[in-house]
Amino acid sequence: MKQNDSGAVTLKNDQIECRILPMGAALSSVRVQDRGGVFAEVALALAADPDYEANNICTGATLGPAAGRIRGGELRLEDQCFQLVRNDGANTLHGGPHGLSAARFQVTAHTDSAVTLRALLADGLDGWPGNRTVDVTYTLGPEARITIDYQAESDRDTYLDLSNHSYWNLSGRPGSDGLGQQLQIAADKVLYNNEQHLPVKKMPVAGTPFDFRQPQTLEDQMNRYPQDPQLKNAHGYNNAFVLRKRNAEQDPAAVLYDPASGRRLKLFTDQPALVVYSGGYLDASVSLCKGAKAAPGCAVALEAQNWPDAGHLEEAPHPVLKAGGCYRRRITFCFETDRQ
């Protein structure tokens, strides 16, 4: 493990190198090999560390207290209702303006292959109940694998749904088109959204642009359904897929593949849903590493989380953290490479 003056922590072995920032406990860089053995950046990495202080696209950041949007900022917690600060029009996004993506974490433990960062969220911050302690641990290996473990405690009953918001372009060319990547998702159902990107109903993926049960490029699916209202609403994908029950350690929730470079990303998680955001709102105002600029569809975010806005959806699992209890969730990014 190496730490620089800005607080960034570098973890690496002979197959992967990644950087973690205290700001948002963000995974700010991931470098892996292509089929020819050449290392390149595959995460949507901003131009410089200070840019993560105003990370409006949340790239690489930890999301919480709740990933996604909450309708009207109204948090329903059993027989209580809390009014949250609204930071996305009439709704609350990713926990509010002082959520974990905007928090400066402290490094509390580290080894050559792992680092743990901690943030404290005060009772009442942005309207959320409970003094909460959140630990995020990044562990490298074996091989080209990054595991993120989330652990949290609260002194009051609260709602908690943590995730990572990394965007991926496995080509290794920052700012280039990411919609040609092939995606496969272990999901038979998807949540359809209203015009505010809030989920309203669960629908089958069969016969729709959301059918990624077999590998498909996002571009091909979008071209097959050019008039689909869901895709038009989000300039692409911004929907939660309801993951099948499976062995979370052995069966991937999703697989992303770039045929040109031979890089493959397998995402494993114990979360019940996966939000796929195809970056339709990214634009050139975002400066990336190597002098590149972002563009619509230049990278794909895969956010393993609970169902968004679960408190307003009857079928949704409701992630309540009881006072004195312990929240635990895991996301693993496993990189593989086709060899020549």
Is the CB of residue 264 less than 8 Å from the CB of residue 256?
A: yes
Query: Residue ranges per domain, the chain?
Result: 2-337
Q: Is the pLDDT score of 299 beyond 90? A: yes
Distance CA 190, CA 210 (A): 7
**pLDDT computed for residue 1 by the predictor:** 53
What is the DSSP secondary structure assignment for residue 50, as one 8-state letter? G
Distance CA 270, CA 268 (A): 7
**pLDDT computed for residue 79 by the predictor:** 84
**pLDDT computed for residue 339 by the predictor:** 75
Q: What would the two tokens of residue 175 be? A: 């700012």
Neighbours of 130 (CB within 10 A): 23
**pLDDT computed for residue 314 by the predictor:** 86
> What's the average model confidence in pLDDT over 108-132?
97
**pLDDT computed for residue 5 by the predictor:** 56
* Predicted confidence (pLDDT) per residue in 183-241, tens digit: 999 999 999 999 999 999 999 999 999 999 999 999 999 999 999 999 999 999 999 99
Q: Is the pLDDT score of 118 beyond 70? A: yes
Q: Which of the four pLDDT bands, split at 50, 70 and 90, describes residue 125? A: very high
What CATH number matches the domain at 2-337, 1.20.1060.10, 2.70.98.10, 3.30.200.20, 3.90.650.10? 2.70.98.10
For residue 167, which phi and psi values (nearest 5 degrees)?
-105, 150
**pLDDT computed for residue 164 by the predictor:** 98
**pLDDT computed for residue 4 by the predictor:** 56
Q: Are strands 106-110 and 114-121 parallel, antiparallel or unpaired?
A: antiparallel
Give pTM, 2 decimals.
Answer: 0.96
Between 76-80, 125-129, 298-302, the lowest mean confidence (pLDDT) is in 76-80
Q: HSE of 56 in the Cβ direction (CA atoms, 13 Å)?
A: 9
**pLDDT computed for residue 158 by the predictor:** 97
